[in-house]
Structure 1
């Protein structure tokens, strides 16, 4: 990798870390709230915030070091490189929400294919925002779900939006695209449609 590409990768990584603070968790970083009642089919519809334990802050290492604007850090500074390693390690080991282990859930997200056969996807990651695990560094493990469909999911490509319903397990997994904190044994994978309000 050239020095220029390495600098661009670090910049994207810093931008991704900065963006996550307000992206899926919101400014309060409050984490999981009481779960709603199950809907049709007995599945509880989750938001991505529900996967994060209350009080866990993905930006803690930055705050502990008094860094208010990570984008202002110098890419070539060894302290920045050390910080990046520390953040990545913390995110890859992000805690999961224990109350969700074994729950029947329905969750929307973006597809990142892992295993694709002629019949369709047999394994993929579900992520909360476009480009996660593909164009930017992966989000924390508690924001990545490994999905194993009951039958191959045909007709889906990278970054398609879907609803996935199944039994959620707080089980860590490793893939070339990122560490996942959850595994969803899916009963159903369907194209995303906004819920009726």
Structure 2
């Protein structure tokens, strides 16, 4: 006990079999082995290529199937199902007992369709584009901002060395704020 290690050794042990009889191989076998250039690495590369080809083919099949599913579902979503114009008895009772604002909202929701919502979204986008009138930043503020950025880039390990540029930037922004306040007060 204790003569062997508790962990297996990392050394690979080779087993050598010895035979009492001499080996004899046919010349055809030796010749075919010598002519064969197909090594283990070549076999593994070929097998890897086969795996990749199968995987690519399967992925293409899945992509095609998903494309077909997507087109099928988009067609079913785009076609609107006609609903009956005649309301049910429950809806009639709810209409009689509800307020006019509730009825208006219900009618608006009923009139909504995919196309009408898309048109409404486009109209809202157009309104937003008309409202976008951003003023260009002041040249002095832009120059001060660029000075701060370049200082921070040159002193990336010591950003506290850029305090002068930061103070100049703060002064320029403060000046713009004062001008804005004066414009809004008048």
TM-score by shorter chain over 0.5:
no
Q: TM-score range by the shorter chain?
A: under 0.3
Relative CO higher for 1 or 2, CA cutoff 8 Å, sep ≥ 6?
A: 1
TM-score by length of 1: 0.20
More helix by share: 2
More strand by share: 1
